[in-house]
Amino acid sequence: MPLPARGSKASAGRPAVAIAVLWGLAITSALIPPSRSVRAKMSRAPAVPWISTLSKLATSGPGRGVNADLGPWWERREEQADIPPSEPPLLGPDAIVLLITVDALRAEVVNSGKHDDALPTLAKLRDSSASMG
């Protein structure tokens, strides 16, 4: 029996089926966590050093063996008493706080001063603002 010709109706749906199967496997692997023994083996593999970090994140949270130091951050606050603000106030009653973040911009582009001519607004903002960098 000869194989179907390229581009024929018999072979037209194969890529779609293959993609659907791959998507199904990807979703299944994301929804079903690996067993402890598999996670342990993956955490020792040199090619995947981030697995141990992900495993710790996946097993932390409310009721999941949270580090005792972090426990208060995971407690529900509905029944807890209100926490008063710190004294003295950090800012006056009319203060405006503006937090600006720029994604995908290297800090040295703004901080070095080399590009102040091309980025005058960012340079002026840098010179008149508090910076954490």
pLDDT in tens, 89-133: 888 889 998 888 888 888 889 889 999 999 999 899 889 887 765
Residue 6's pLDDT is what? 62
Cα torsion angle, 18, 19, 20, 22, sign: positive
Please tell me whether the peptide bond between 72 and the residue prior to it is cis, using omega within 30 degrees of 0: no
Helices and strands in the chain: count of H runs, count of E runs: 7, 0
Which pLDDT score, from 0 to 100, does residue 12 have? 60
Per-residue pLDDT, averaged over 6-19, amounts to: 70
pTM greater than 0.75: no
Average pLDDT, the chain: 77
